[in-house]
A = this chain, B = another copy of it.
Amino acid sequence: MTGESETFTVPARRGRATRLGAGEAIKIINTHGTQVVDTWAFSAEDLTEFMSNEHMRATLGKLWPAPGDALVTNRRRPILTLEEDSSPGRHDTLIAACDDYRYGLLGCTEYHDNCTDNLFAGMRQLGLTPPECPSPLNLWMNIPVDAAGATSWGEPLSKPGDYVVLRAHMDCVVAMSACPQDILPINGAACTPVEAHYRILGR
């Protein structure tokens, strides 16, 4: 496609996925400013090749990507470039997607919406099943790390309308989950997950 698409919604607590052709980009918008969006990218040709934080950190030499950085797969090939970021740039690559096990450990006794199931549900809307839930790029998730290696659960540093633009190096599928975490303050002090939005940008 050329130009910019209509605006799509990632509903609060839910997942969505979209195909992205090589050269196209996705603009992911933190509409309310406090919402973490777990993000994954899979090669359209072979879903076992996907964006991988542990390979990305080795290539980039840092915990969080910045504009201009190529995000690599588990085969160390660029799949997306972080082209623009209007936020302070604090994202997370350290923490696994939440899952029902996680909410059980946090005291929930009934099923809790979670990013892992959202990944599978979002991909299923495209008729796809990911081979696993890779460690996500957690957009706007703020996990401060001190010099001794201790991590903490921060609130997002982003403001309403902040966005990132991720441009595809190969035909791929990008999946997103508006994280349903409402026990820890990673989606802001109010612990209220909300929706996010995205648009597809042409070459």
Interface residues of A, Cβ cutoff 8 Å to B: 52-55, 57-59, 61-64, 74-77, 94-96, 99, 101-102, 105, 132, 135, 145-152
A95 touches B151 (CB 8 A): no
Does B101 lie within 8 Å of A58, measured CB to CB?
no
Q: Does the CB pair B54–A95 fall under 8 Å?
A: yes
> Is B94's CB under 8 angstroms from A57's CB?
yes
Q: Given that A76-B101, A149-B145 are contacting pairs, would A57 and B95 also be in contact in the complex, using a CB cutoff of 8 Å?
A: yes
Residue ID in chain B nearest A134 by CB atoms:
B54
How far is B98's CA from A54's CA once the two chains are assembled, in angstroms? 10
List 6 contacting pairs A-B, 8 Å CB cutoff, sorted by A: A61-B150, A62-B149, A74-B96, A76-B102, A132-B132, A145-B149
Selected contact of A96 from candidates B58, B62, B145, B149, CB within 8 Å: B58
Given contacts A58-B95, A96-B54, A132-B132, contact A63 B145 (CB under 8 A): yes
Min CB–CB distance A42 → chain B (angstroms)? 14
**A150 and B62 within 8 A (CB):** yes
Q: Is the CB of A151 within 8 A of B54?
A: no
- Complex: how many Å from CA A146 to CA B147? 6
Smallest CB–CB gap between A103 and chain B, Å?
10
**What's the least CB distance linking A43 to chain B, in Å?**
14
Q: How far is the CA of A52 from the CA of B101 in the complex (A)?
A: 14
Residues of B within 8 A of A148 (CB): 62
Q: How far is the CA of A105 from the CA of B102 in the complex (A)?
A: 36
CB distance from A108 to the nearest CB of B (A): 13
Most buried by B among A76, A99, A102: A76
A147 to chain B, nearest CB (A): 7
Q: How far is the CA of A152 from the CA of B75 in the complex (A)?
A: 21
A-B contacts besides A61-B151, A145-B147, 14 pairs, CB < 8 Å: A54-B135, A57-B94, A58-B102, A61-B150, A61-B152, A62-B149, A62-B150, A62-B151, A63-B94, A63-B149, A76-B102, A76-B105, A77-B101, A146-B147
